[in-house]
Structure 1
């Protein structure tokens, strides 16, 4: 039986190590899988997909919270049901009430039939209990999706408020973003491009350095400006 701890962050400002510490505090032997991904589609989480493919019955996947599994309520609920049917245990540290073990107990805690006419009533009670358990799962995913959307809206409103108050948002027009990648790329352009005394055409230079067309010509233009300056 393997225990996988899945940790994901969706922005560079988030710290993934907090999730790691929370999971290891409960499961010291968990296999930690980290993923940095920005987006909302469940299918886009490659590392989680890998876990889902190799996970066997009786294996456990631990999440710091339900939002780490999926931001989409519908996709998260469907995946939860699939994994439950595969007998894979799901554990959510911040929402333990929807752990699959709790869900399993709720589904198995039905009222026994009596073999009498009362069974018609008991059958209805059992269906209600199962529906109630499933609704708890769905509500947890819906609440998680709502929290993400609310956070996005608050951030958007905060940026707009700052802009209206005259604060600079993002990079100032006309400024260049200097990174280690851009510095190295420009050195190679200067070394290999025919325009700077090299032997390669723009197309071959792009392929060699591994730059997209727009980025390549942007760096090339900046190089010329730097040399002229």
Structure 2
């Protein structure tokens, strides 16, 4: 079984890039998505994946930072999965894929049953530690990048505040809801106040039964529009003001 694990830190981020990158190379991968805010308990999907994954299964990550943002935890998970014979693939850090690690182990020098073996054993241990160190470095780099990003964000907010710049949305800013336009299009087409033949009650009924697809963490989920009478008449007023 091939799994693709994709993670974002907030619901406002897009997970589509990670899914696209994994599917481009492993089209048969079963994608598992998650919003992870920073602690182990926030990763129920990843915890479940670790429980169901078996020997010879494969887990694909867009990058090592998607597996863990904590170097110590990441290396511990990597080591356990490697011992369980689970294949790990990191698209952006292929040098630490478990297959690469296995090759490093299999390429060890063969013993000769002579005193030279003392030297060969030392070389083999060195190669093994070198491979382990590369894995550690990859996780430590991912942890450092997250830490640096947080620091830059903090400094940017402090600078903006110092310069009296607006941080966040200004009070009174009007936010356009993504569903507003398609709902208004239905009102224009169906309401007898515009181009249609239906009463307000009929139009609201049509809207509330109209399906649409919403992107949730990179996955298309089928939903149905829902509109309250207050919102419906508000949209009608806005349409009339814009048209007449």
- TM norm. shorter chain > 0.5: yes
CA distance in 2, matches of 1:43, 1:27: 28
Question: Helix, strand or coil for the counterpart of 2:141?
Answer: helix
Tell me if 1:32 matches 2:53.
Answer: no
CA distance in 1, matches of 2:152, 2:141: 16
CA distance in 2, matches of 1:51, 1:60: 11
Structure 2 unaligned regions, length at least 5: 178-244
Counterpart contact for 1:42–1:70, Cα < 8 Å: no
CA distance in 2, matches of 1:73, 1:89: 19
- TM-score (normalised: structure 2): 0.68
CA distance in 1, matches of 2:81, 2:43: 16
Tell me if 1:136 matches 2:134.
Answer: yes
Number of matched pairs: 176
Question: Helix, strand or coil for the counterpart of 1:6?
Answer: strand
Q: Deviations over 1:167-209 (max 9, x none)?
A: 1224668x8xx9x9xxxxxxxxxxxxxxxxxxxxxxxxxxxxx
CA distance in 1, matches of 2:89, 2:166: 43
Question: Helix, strand or coil for the counterpart of 1:8?
Answer: strand
Q: Partner residue of 1:168?
A: 166
Q: Partner residue of 1:72?
A: 70
Which one of 93, 96, 121 corresponds to residue 95 of structure 1?
A: 93
Q: Partner residue of 1:156?
A: 154
CA distance in 2, matches of 1:59, 1:100: 12
CA distance in 1, matches of 2:120, 2:41: 40
Q: Partner residue of 2:144?
A: 146
CA distance in 2, matches of 1:148, 1:14: 15
Q: CA RMSD in A?
A: 2.0
CA distance in 2, matches of 1:16, 1:76: 21
Tell me if 1:126 matches 2:124.
Answer: yes
Deviation at 1:43, TM superposition (A): 4.6
More strand by share: 2
Structure 1 unaligned regions, length at least 5: 181-229
CA distance in 2, matches of 1:132, 1:43: 32
More helix by share: 1
Tell me if 1:4 matches 2:14.
Answer: no
Deviation at 1:108, TM superposition (A): 1.6
CA distance in 1, matches of 2:11, 2:155: 20
Q: Deviations over 1:23-58 (max 9, x none)?
A: 00000010001101211x345311011111000100
Q: Partner residue of 2:242?
A: none
- TM-score (normalised: structure 1): 0.73
CA distance in 2, matches of 1:44, 1:38: 6
CA distance in 1, matches of 2:117, 2:9: 50
Question: Helix, strand or coil for the counterpart of 1:143?
Answer: helix
Q: Partner residue of 1:112?
A: 110
CA distance in 1, matches of 2:99, 2:40: 23
